[in-house]
Amino acid sequence: MAQFKCKICDLGFQQKSKLEQHKESSHPEKALSAADLQGHLQGIKYPAKKKDLINHAPVLEDHALTRLIERLPEQTYRDSAQVSRALGRVISHEDKPV
C-alpha cells in the first residue's frame, strides 16, 4: 500500500521524494500572469502598503501568489502595475542560481 498519495490525481508512492518528483513533473504550478494578478488584487484600494496586500491575501485562492506577496519589499504601492513590477522582480530573483 502506498504511503504517500498525490492529492491531485490520487496516485500512490512509497517514498515522499517520488511523490514530490511526480508533482513537479505532472502537476507543475501555473505561472502567474498579469491577468491573474489583476484578478486577485481586485478590490484593493490604492495607494496600498504591503500589509494591505497581505491582509487582502487570505481571500486569495492562489497560495503561491500569497507567498509572493509576503516577499514584496516594504513600501507603499500606488497601483497594481507597481505591484506587478515588484512581483516580477521577486520572481526573477527566484530563478537566478545562488
* The predicted structure's pLDDT at residue 13: 93
**Could you tell me if 25 and 17 are in contact, meaning their C-beta atoms sit under 8 angstroms apart?**
no
**Could you tell me if 4 and 14 are in contact, meaning their C-beta atoms sit under 8 angstroms apart?**
yes
Q: Where are the alpha helices (DSSP H) in the chain?
A: 16-26, 34-40, 50-56, 63-70, 80-95
* The predicted structure's pLDDT at residue 66: 77
**Could you tell me if 6 and 19 are in contact, meaning their C-beta atoms sit under 8 angstroms apart?**
yes
* The predicted structure's pLDDT at residue 16: 92
**Could you tell me if 50 and 74 are in contact, meaning their C-beta atoms sit under 8 angstroms apart?**
yes
Strand 48-49 relative to strand 12-13, pairing: unpaired
pLDDT tens sequence for the chain (98 residues): 789 998 888 899 999 999 988 888 887 766 666 677 777 788 899 999 999 988 876 555 556 777 788 889 999 999 988 998 898 888 777 544 44
* The predicted structure's pLDDT at residue 96: 46
* The predicted structure's pLDDT at residue 95: 46
